[in-house]
Structure 1
């Protein structure tokens, strides 16, 4: 039954175009905020999400995007997250842009429960960056090496750049001197792992990405840059405004850096080195 004492509804005019645009922008910001929050909250309890396009899934669980006649490749290490689906999407951001430029992308997945340094993140996907995670690091190196051998069986030898964001950036630094042979290094919004040693490392083309609005990792990136310079490296430094989260301009900087590296001569074979994490 209707309320006969209720006033008649007022005639409401259609919102202006500007108002509709603002409403749409507000909704988009809300969606982005929810997605960003999902990176740092919740857990999928170790259920591994599938690789999204343009990836295929390798037997190891890593994602691979291999363009025809690729001349270069990025091994991309994602940031720590409670959701493997988010890690996959992060890798796809890089892969979609790289694929357009004929660059292959290998995106391994971190270890579920690998954040042993903080019980709060016990059920997250992380890279083993703690000093006591030597065995986990060696297992990761073996997994990545196996993936690279699979790629090598399907393409000619191509230079490989190791790139990592946040927790993945710390892991990239750790692997740079002890993991598979690489031609370049990218560290974004991270730093050097605890008790890190440059022993046995050679200077290589390196890109450091920092965000001035990143309260925690901007200082550690500055420290990493100063340390690399003191060790005889000449890292390329790019910083931007804004927060810690990976941005499209970060991805573009990675792809631009990789594109500028020289390709391997036809018939060449990359040198090998020890895969011990110690």
Structure 2
């Protein structure tokens, strides 16, 4: 009798275990099914969001500057134009003359959007650089730079002179910027100081205060654009040549001890 009761108890326990296992499996399947549905829903929503909100690239505004000629003659006109795109635009053309870091505003041509006309004087010469600075839709932007070389017809050059032309006293380490002027057939003087005007500078070694021999002087050095720098006490000449014409300016370099 006890054996039958024991067998019956084991059977009941087995049935209870199988039922619990089935329930647990059902719960696990139900939870997994819910999680799977949630993941699929999240992926679907994420994909919809990506389709609704595409990534739009942000580009900075650009300004391009052009000129009708980079080698104008004195007395002619130079026209600058610029391609600027935007809704709210404020643009100015800036002129830098002779390597200056400070520019001048160029008046705008109201007849044509973003165009500037520069009427060069008959005595104009030398290099000058131009660029556009603008604010486009609230963003500051600069254009490319353009260098314009205003060069007179050197075949009509008649005379070269330094202005001023008198003898100059310098101290070691000090410097002097030369100014070379050319007189032309039309009776006008034009600045030929810069190397871009075809001017070449050289140094002359002075012996006994009189004799001059071409060569690199230990007393001074002179740059391609006519800047003289004193190096040590002595006397030297600067010779400027352009289109077969020549002029000379003398420099005396003295130490401070010599003045005491």
TM-score, normalised relative to structure 2: 0.23
Larger % of strand: which?
2
TM-score, normalised relative to structure 1: 0.22
